[in-house]
Chains A and B, each alone.
Chain A
Amino acid sequence: MSGFPDISIPLGNIADFVVNFLDKNLEPVFDFIFWMTSTTITTFDDILNFLPWWLLLVFIFALGYFFQNATSGLLYAFLIFLVGSFGLWEELMITVAIVLTAVIISLIIGIPIGIWMAMNRASSVVIRPILDAMQTMPSFVYLIPVIFFFPLGNVPAVFATIIYAVPPVIRLTELGIRNVDQEVVESAESFGSSRMQILTKVQLPQAVPTIMAGVNQTTMMALAMVVIASMVGAGGLGEQVLVAINRIDIALGFEAGISIVFLAIIIDRITSGIGNRFQRDKGDQ
């Protein structure tokens, strides 16, 4: 038996070097991103905490009522009420603020990339395998790079979440645009539309239902990162789960866990309700 020969390829050192290099030279950039992101999170959190709790319940009911029906609205409001009764209201607000921030940034990044991939075959060929890799990688891995660039807390959590959650919205934006009937695009072209006009007046509106499905998936994945992200210091429900695991506190673990499930149900139903609404507006029924 012979052991592995004494060859060492210093990939780790290279990674270390790159991260250090970026950290030093792009410090102002990272500072700015940090500031932007943490401000966004705090603002959402402040707004959510500023509103009276019952108004939030009414708002949840209204969303459910508008995008589904009255029964769903009541159910969603009741689920949120339950979370409050567990004593996890503030944690819920932080989690919502983090997820909301991560989703918004994911959409701001993801939709344009999806559009670009739909317009440009080469970019699609290059980016696709990257997206595949991003999705197959265990989500813990994303925690590593972000903690080099940002101090522990909500901001690295948001970025780890983005890396994990952004692929679906990119993919489905591309798919939605590519799948627009060729004849429909050509008919727009035959009227002398510019490329921009074709995109904004035809391709994007036609792709909305597919893009909404991507938004839904991205949101669900962001939510799935809540517990993992708390390992780099994110507060909220995920943190409570982590605490419960450490303390083997079954009661807390169950309550925090089930709260995340409630949140997932509500967000899933509402975002897919929005998607269906777009479909119906098209007159598909």
Chain B
Amino acid sequence: MSVKMKLENVSKIFGPKPKTAIPLVEQGKSKEDILAETGNTVGVYNASIDINEGELFVIMGLSGSGKSTLIRCLNLLNKPTTGSIVVDGEDVVQYKGEALKEYRQKKIAMVFQHFGLFSHRTVLGNVEYGLEIRGVSAEERQEIARQNLESVGLKGWEDKYPDELSGGMQQRVGLARALANDPDILLMDEPFSALDPLIRREMQLELLDLQERLQKTIVFITHDINEAFKIGDRVAVMKDGKVVQTGTPEEILEEPANDYISEFIKDIDRSKIIQAENIMIRPNALVSLKDGLKVAIQEMESNGLSSVYVTDRKRQLQGIVTIDDAIQGVKEKNSLEDVMIKDVATVKKEDYLEEIIPKAVESTYPIAVVGESNRLEGIILRVHVLSSLVAEDIDE
């Protein structure tokens, strides 16, 4: 995995004499003190992040923590006060004039929180815009714009005006407009915040879909930790202009770097973040269909289990047998296949806790986690389902 954007010590200070504020931040003074003393506002201080090619990188933080300031440094809507941003081997902070235009036209595009659409242009005219600026012929750019509109599900809306569309649809236009330029990097500043929750969830899934297809490098901003952990490959947490932790959602959940992050993740809905594979365990015992009942009883007794999963030779899940049924079966001279329970609750590795919980409540046995072609990957003990909802017990 190669690094697409390398941010090193990026700071952005707003105000009359930005550089004078830098030493003060280094001394550890607070934003408020620096503002009072110098009239400068610290937007971002010393952010160093590597963003990998093709990953969906989320920047998360409370309002005013500097998320927008940082993402706007990436396409130089804000020029960093200090630091470098290396994209494909070049420090883009040095770009001016034509080089800057070229960078914005070809490499990087942005989706805005309130969509930023041109209300005087049709949907098609909006999506064409980036190509029009580059001087692409009308015929070609319309063709590309139509394709992009189709790929976000807006075929047939080309000749409408943005304000004739719902919020969700408008943001799709914003997305299509950004994608029409075929940028390597897509910046999204709270793109779904203005949408209602249902539409929002839909858009999140579509973004993940899109990412699967296009493999862009996406920098996504949100103040919603659930959203961050749901869609982010990696997440950076910001506070008061500083990046306080960077890692995968699991890493951050398991080892919050400080109290601030712990506080932040406290109210996260873990059932939407934790997947089956995070809490499943390797079964202590398994029996194969041809092993028969005696082996099954022996396995259960030696491991102190009251039930055991049955697979075939390819480890495909067949069912589960309980100790009581097994003993009864031996008495009545039945086979393993006769006494095992075939209708067992299963989940997939990537299923979220919220889907697992109802099954755990209904079932009296551990839940089987299956992968490709019904292969048994692991089991989830019912007690782990509940304990994983409580933050401290995650590292099971």
CB distance from B319 to the nearest CB of A (A): 57
How does the 8 Å CB contact mask read for A161-190 relative to B, with 1 for contact and 0 for none?
000000000000000000001011011111
Q: In the complex, which residues 101-135 of chain B have their Cβ closer than 8 Å to any Cβ of chain A?
A: 101-106, 108-110, 112-121, 129-130, 132-134
C-alpha spacing A281/B120, complex, angstroms: 8
Interface pair B118/A191, CB less than 8 Å apart:
no
Interface pair B75/A190, CB less than 8 Å apart:
yes
Report which of B109, B114, B163, B181 forms a contact with A283, defined as CB distance below 8 A.
B163
Interface pair B113/A282, CB less than 8 Å apart:
no
CB distance from A105 to the nearest CB of B (A): 27
Interface pair A187/B116, CB less than 8 Å apart:
yes
Interface pair A283/B112, CB less than 8 Å apart:
no
Is B201 on the interface with A (CB-CB < 8 A)?
A: no
Which of A187, A194, A205 lies at the interface centre, i.e. has the most chain B CB atoms within 10 A of its CB? A187
A283-B160, A283-B161 given; A191·B104 CB < 8 A? yes
C-alpha spacing A188/B106, complex, angstroms: 14
C-alpha spacing A282/B115, complex, angstroms: 17
Report which of A184, A190, A197 forms a contact with B77, defined as CB distance below 8 A.
A190
A190-B104, A192-B102 given; A184·B160 CB < 8 A? no
Interface pair A188/B129, CB less than 8 Å apart:
yes
Interface pair A189/B77, CB less than 8 Å apart:
yes
Interface pair B120/A181, CB less than 8 Å apart:
no
**Interface size range of chain A in the complex:** 20 to 34
Interface pair A190/B163, CB less than 8 Å apart:
no
In the complex, what residues of A have CB within 8 A of residue B209's CB?
A: none
Is B164 on the interface with A (CB-CB < 8 A)?
A: yes
Interface pair B119/A190, CB less than 8 Å apart:
no
Which of A192, A194, A197, A201 lies at the interface centre, i.e. has the most chain B CB atoms within 10 A of its CB? A192
Report which of A183, A193, A208 forms a contact with B112, defined as CB distance below 8 A.
A183
C-alpha spacing A283/B162, complex, angstroms: 8
Interface pair B129/A206, CB less than 8 Å apart:
no
Is B257 on the interface with A (CB-CB < 8 A)?
A: no
Interface pair B119/A191, CB less than 8 Å apart:
no
C-alpha spacing A192/B130, complex, angstroms: 8
Interface pair B133/A191, CB less than 8 Å apart:
yes
Is B305 on the interface with A (CB-CB < 8 A)?
A: no
Is A202 on the interface with B (CB-CB < 8 A)?
A: yes
Is B100 on the interface with A (CB-CB < 8 A)?
A: yes
In the complex, what residues of B have CB within 8 A of residue A191's CB?
A: 104-105, 109, 129-130, 133, 181
In the complex, what residues of A have CB within 8 A of residue B112's CB?
A: 183, 186-187
Interface pair B161/A282, CB less than 8 Å apart:
yes
Is A284 on the interface with B (CB-CB < 8 A)?
A: yes
Interface pair B104/A192, CB less than 8 Å apart:
yes
C-alpha spacing A188/B119, complex, angstroms: 12
C-alpha spacing A192/B131, complex, angstroms: 10
In the complex, what residues of B have CB within 8 A of residue A181's CB?
A: 114, 116
Q: In the complex, which residues 330-375 of chain B have their Cβ closer than 8 Å to any Cβ of chain A?
A: none
17 A-B residue pairs with Cβ-Cβ distance under 8 Å, sorted by A, are A183-B113, A183-B115, A184-B119, A186-B116, A187-B110, A191-B104, A191-B133, A191-B181, A192-B100, A192-B105, A194-B101, A201-B133, A205-B121, A206-B119, A281-B120, A282-B119, A283-B162
The 9 closest A-B pairs by CB, nearest first: A283-B161, A187-B116, A192-B104, A192-B105, A192-B101, A191-B130, A183-B116, A205-B120, A190-B110
